[in-house]
Each structure stands twice: as C-alpha cells, then as structure tokens.
Amino acid sequence: MQKVGLPDFPWDSLAADKALAAAHPDGIVDLSVGTPVDPISPAVRAALTGSAADIPGYPTTHGPASLRTAVADSLQRRFGVTVDPVSVLPTIGSKELVAWLPTLLGLGAGDTVVIPELAYPTYEVGALLAGAQPVRSDSTAALGPARVALIWVNSPSNPTGRVLPVAHLRKVVDWARERGAVVASDECYLSLSDGAPSLLDPQVCGGSHEGLLAVHSMSKTSSLAGYRAGFVTGDPTLVAALLEVRKHAGLIVPWPVQAAMEVAAADDEHVATQVGIYGRRRAQLRTALEAAGLRVDHSEAGMYLWATAGEPGRVTVHRLAEKGILVAPGEFYGPAGAEHVRVAATAPDHLITAAAQRLTE
C-alpha cells in the first residue's frame, strides 16, 4: 500500500532518546507530546457514563440541537464570537478534521494549501492526502501567483505558543477573500490564552464568517483527548457542505461523547481550572529552562515552550534525555525549527517539578 508521499511519523524517531531518558535513575519525565494527564471533570464523566446505556440507534452526524447550542453559547461567553448553532458541527477530535479538511472541501491536484512556517505536522499531511500542494509561509506577500485554495492559521501556535494579533488575522482574511480562498483556524489552544482573538472575532472578520472555519478541540481545555471531542464552525455554507460529506462518510461522534461535550461546553469553571494548571507549569518550566541556559521564544500561551540552546535541536534533545527529560525536536514542525525544541507542560505537577530540578542541577 502506498503512503501517498506521506512523511514518516516523526515521534517514532525519538525511540533511542526515549530509552536513554527512561534509563535515568529517577525515571523519565516525558514532555515530548501534548497528551493531557489531569483528571476529567466529574460532571463530564457522569454525562459520558450516564448516556452509555441502551442506545441501539445511530447518533446524528450533526449532533443534537442542545449540544450545538451549548457550544455556540460557550463561544460567545469565552471569546465574544456569535455563531448560529446550526453552523456547529461535532468532529472526532480536531486532528481528524485537520487531516481531512482539504479532502472534504474537494481540494486536489493544482490546489495550494498554505500552512504556517512552523506547524503541527497534520496540516501538511492533510494537504498531501488530498493530492494538494502544501506550502509553508507566514506571509501572504510571499505566495506569488499560486492558486491558493486553503490557508491554515494556528493561534496560539503549536509548537511556538505564539499568539497572532487581530491585525495579522484580519490581513490574512482580507487577502483570502480577494482570492476566494478558505481560511481555517486551528483554535485548539485558544482557551489557554489571555484574550487571544478567534478568527471569527468581529474585529478580525468584520462580522461576516464567509470563507472562514474555526476548528476547536476539548482535548486540552477539558482533558478529553481520550474522548475524541471537537467541533468546527464558521461559514454556514461551508459547514453545511462538510456536514453532507461527513454524513456520506460516516464521520460521526458517538452519542456518549456528544453528551459529554455538551456538559463540557456549558461549564467554564473546569476550563478555568485547567488554564491555571497549564499556566503554572509553563512558568515553572520556563524559569528552569532559562536557568539552564536555553532561550525561550514566543511561548505566550498554550501548553508548550519553544526553546533553543543555539545548537541543532536533536543535540538538545539528547542532552536533556541524559537528564531523564524527553522533549520534541523543533524539526518536527518544519525546517525553521531546526535549532529549537518543544517542551510540553503535560506531566503531573510532581514530574514538572522533577524536570525543573534536573534542569537546574
């Protein structure tokens, strides 16, 4: 079976350094992946288990109106974004939507998908799966005459934690609308920020969601990575088209997960708690990394620190593995990350403290 020109899965290349870190006398502190480790809200768990009774029928691809209304209300409360609940579409986590969006939009050979210079690998993979051409660029001025069909933005960024301001996002929207391109914003980390703007913010989009899609996940803010809970919203016409294709393809979020999503969307308290946890961990790791001689760039929000020792990132990965700390090399996210590493604040507090102590020894 051909891989359609897909790159190798990058984390597989960390096996040797992972083994080295695991050999540390006090064990490994794995900060290489963004996997949540904190407890799930009891109310969310209760919604999942309480709906897992005798439900023999299929769930709906669009989800119940109550779920879509809860999501729309949460966007208004948390980000000042107004969407019609009809334009909310549950997804099987956000990675699934990121990987298949170019295909679901009908993109193919001859279409260009613009991804950030430093980007989560799945944006590139999604373009390749559709047969489209991925291009890394943070500047629309550098795109030239390419037939751009889709532009991805990601703020706060994975891996850098960079937050794009309103003016930057508005410039991207204006450029795309002049050319009939779709802008998709991966807002997986939007809640883990202090006021980062959404693509659907009226200041960004002028009050119209035409040509715009915002992709959200509950994996980080509600620790629901294991539930595979996400959604997409924005342009009503685009969302309706995605819904039709997803119905045909059987891309449906299970009933119990839909019930859990509804409760998670309605409850801001557990989100605020999680934001505080990641904020404390990031601050502790940042202090330790800087004390160890690394420079931390961007990293204003989200759950990652983007650090450099001014050497190839793989060298830094190995040196930290000798201390029992595993991080991801910046090259995973594009050539521009060759001298950086990504450090995830995704370990329990006692292991974050252990990592900080090892860094400053």
Looking at the structure, tell me whether residues 214 and 203 fall in a common domain: yes
Q: Which pLDDT score is estimated for 103? A: 97
Residue 351 covered by a domain? yes
Looking at the structure, tell me whether residues 14 and 62 fall in a common domain: no
Contact 290, 302 (CB under 8 A): no
Among 239, 267, 295, which residue terminates a domain?
267
pLDDT in tens, 197-231: 999 999 999 999 999 999 999 999 999 999 999 99
pLDDT over 70 at 3, yes or no: no
Higher pLDDT, 239 or 49: 239
Looking at the structure, tell me whether residues 90 and 234 fall in a common domain: yes
pLDDT in tens, 147-168: 899 999 999 999 999 999 999 9
Question: What H or E segment, with its residue span, contains residue 99?
Answer: helix 93-104
Beta bridge partners of 297: 306
Looking at the structure, tell me whether residues 68 and 212 fall in a common domain: yes
pLDDT in tens, 253-289: 999 999 999 999 999 999 999 999 999 999 999 999 9
- Could you give the number of structural domains in the chain? 2
Looking at the structure, tell me whether residues 251 and 293 fall in a common domain: no
Residue 46 covered by a domain? no
pLDDT over 80 at 52, yes or no: no
Q: Which pLDDT score is estimated for 1? A: 44
Q: Which own/partner pairs from 200-207 qualify as long-range (CB within 8 Å, at least 24 positions apart)?
A: 200/75, 200/79, 200/81, 200/83, 200/233, 200/234, 201/79, 201/80, 201/81, 201/166, 201/169, 202/80, 203/166, 203/170, 204/166, 204/169, 204/170, 204/173, 205/170, 205/173, 206/170, 206/173
- Contacts for 50 with CB less than 8 Å, ≥ 6 apart: 259
Domain that holds residue 94: 55-267
Q: Which pLDDT score is estimated for 141? A: 76
Contact 150, 101 (CB under 8 A): yes
The CATH code of the domain that includes 145 is 3.40.640.10
Amino acid identity at 106? G
Among 222, 239, 267, which residue terminates a domain?
267
Looking at the structure, tell me whether residues 308 and 255 fall in a common domain: no
Looking at the structure, tell me whether residues 97 and 238 fall in a common domain: yes
Helix then strand then coil, in percent of the chain rounded to 5, is 45, 15, 40
Looking at the structure, tell me whether residues 300 and 208 fall in a common domain: no
Instruction: Tell if the pTM clears 0.75, that is, is over it.
Output: yes
- Contacts for 357 with CB less than 8 Å, ≥ 6 apart: 288
Beta bridge partners of 341: 307, 329
Residue 50 covered by a domain? no
Looking at the structure, tell me whether residues 162 and 230 fall in a common domain: yes
